[in-house]
Amino acid sequence: MSERKPVTVPELRARKSSGPRITMLTAYDASMAASLAAGGVDCLLVGDSLGMVVQGGTSTVPVTVAEIAYHTRAVARAAGPTLVIADLPYLSYATLPQALDSAQQLIQAGAQMVKLEGGGWTAPIVAALAERDVPVCAHLGLTPQSVHKFGGFRVQGRDAAAAERIRVEGLALAEAGAEMVVLECVPSALARQITAELPIPTIGIGAGPDCDGQVLVCYDFLGMSTGVRPRFVKNFLSGRDSVQAAAAAYCAAVRDGSFPGPEHGYA
C-alpha cells in the first residue's frame, strides 16, 4: 500500500463538501488498529463499546476514563495515518472540570479527538472544549450511555417531536464547535435532513445511506457479532482472507455509496 498522509481534523471537515465519504471503525488494541489502518480506514474510534464487546458487559455505562485511556494508548501506537477518536465515558463530562480532565487524559493518551454523547445540555461542554482546541465529535440519536432512560437499545427520532429535537440539537452542537456528529439508529430520512442542514460532517450507524461517513464496531464488520445482529451490520470479512482486506472493502463500499444499502436503515 502506498504511504498515506495523516488524516487531520480540517481534512475531515472539508470532506463535507469535497468528499470522499469518511470511513470509521472501532479499535481497541494495536493489532486491530494496524490492520484497519493498512486497509485505508480514515478514523479509528476507541469506543466505550469496549465495555460490551471486549469486557462482556450488558452496556457501556461501567466503562471508565482510565480504561479508555489504556486502549487509546494501544491503538494510537499502531494507528499510522488514521485519526484516533476516543469516547468520553458515562458521566465523565457531566461538569466542565470533569470534561476538561477527562479530555486531557484521552488526548495525552494519543487521541486527536474526543467523542461525547448527548443533546442540548452538552453544547456548553462542547463549546468549552472547542475553545481550548480539543476537537469534539458529538453523538445523537441512540446514545448507548442513555440505555436505562431509553429502556433498551431502541431507534430514536421516529415521531415528529423527537425528530425535531434531534435536528435542533445537531444544529446547536455544530454552532458550539463540534467537528463531526455521529447519528446512531435514527430514521434514514431524518439523517438525510440533518446531513443536509449541518455544516459539519455526519457519521452514520444505522442512519441510512446519506450521511457524510459511516462507522461500525470492528467485530460487527468482521461477522463476530454475538446475540441478535443489528440490521445496520454487514460482514465484510466474508469471502476475504484478512482483516486488512475486509477494511479495504468496507472503505470502498462506503465511498462508492454501496454501503449502507436501504436494508441497513430504519424508516
Distance CA 85, CA 113 (A): 5
**Residue at 229: amino acid letter:** R
Using alpha carbons, list the distances in angstroms from residue 245 to 84, 162, 201, 248. Answer: 20, 39, 26, 5
Q: Is 134 exposed, middle or buried (0-12, 13-18, 19+ CB in 10 A)?
A: buried
Distance CA 53, CA 46 (A): 12
Distance CA 222, CA 31 (A): 14
Distance CA 75, CA 57 (A): 21
| Annotated active-site residue in 169, 175, 184, 197 | 184
Closest CA to 140 of 116, 112, 175, 111: 116
The distance in angstroms from the start CA to the end CA of the chain is 39
The yes-or-no answer on residue 184 being catalytic is yes
209 and 179 Cβ atoms separated by less than 8 Å:
no
Active site residues: 184
